Amino acid sequence: MPSSYNIGPRYEGLVRELVESGRYASASEVVRDSLRLLEQREEIRALELEKLKREYAEGKASGEPEEVDPARFLQELKAERAARG
């Protein structure tokens, strides 16, 4: 079932350039490739969100936060970085 979408002059021009350059055989190919990229981006976002939720839950389950001395923490970070070279 064919569909029709208004993508505006900017993207119409881009589609036309891509087809005229020979990179794509048709406007439909451009749209399909664009949708594949969008689908991949959405899958990556979903995976990142799952990871973030999992890490948040792990952090909550680890107990109450401890008080940190900022100067000591900075010293420890510098020492770790120096040890790595």
**Tens-level pLDDT at each residue, the chain (85 residues):** 678 899 999 999 999 999 999 999 999 999 999 999 999 999 999 999 999 999 999 999 999 988 999 999 999 999 999 999 7
Instruction: Give the residue carrying structure tokens 């107990």.
Output: 63
The CA-atom distances, in angstroms, between 45 and each of 42, 72, 76 are 5, 36, 33
